Structure 1
Amino acid sequence: MYLLAILLPPLAVFLVGKPFQGIISIVLTILGWVPGAIHAILVVHEKKQDKRMEKQARIIAESQNKQ
């Protein structure tokens, strides 16, 4: 997904499910490819962090239910 964020920034942002951020990414990409790519990388990274945090919270909840 990071490669897509570099090559096609707005598409990567839309694919992670952030439509408003996708519009911002389009504007930034029009202003320059580098700002658009940086923004897309940050959005993709944030989405990956959210998934990681949800997984950790689920594991913690399951371990507490077992005790």
Structure 2
Amino acid sequence: MVKIILAILIPPLAVFLHEGLGSRFWISLLLTLLFIIPGIVYALLVVTDTI
């Protein structure tokens, strides 16, 4: 539940807490810096183990 809230507020932090410092973290950081909505969607998908 906390990770889902973090995925909405701070997407890269939620992905980092779920996956660690890997490629998914960097993708999330890039998407968040370029466009906030895709970063949130990607973080939610990673945190909920959909992808």
Task: Report the TM-score, using the length of structure 1 for normalisation.
Answer: 0.65
Residue number in structure 2 paired with 1:22:
25
Name the structure where helix makes up a greater proportion of residues: 1
Counterpart residue identity of residue 39, structure 1 = Y
Q: Distance in 2 between matches of 1:6 and 1:32?
A: 13
For structure 1, list consecutive stretches of 5 or more residues without a partner in the other structure.
50-67
**How many correspondences in the alignment?**
47
Coordinate RMSD, CA, aligned: 1.3
Percent of matched pairs sharing the same residue: 47
CA deviation digits over 1:6-50, x for unaligned, max 9?
00000000000242100000000011110100000000010xx7x
Dislocated runs of 4+, deviation >2 Å: none
- Which residue identity is paired with 1:28? L
TM-score, with length taken from structure 2: 0.84
Which has the greater radius of gyration?
Answer: 1
1:39 & 1:7 partners in 2: Cα distance?
13
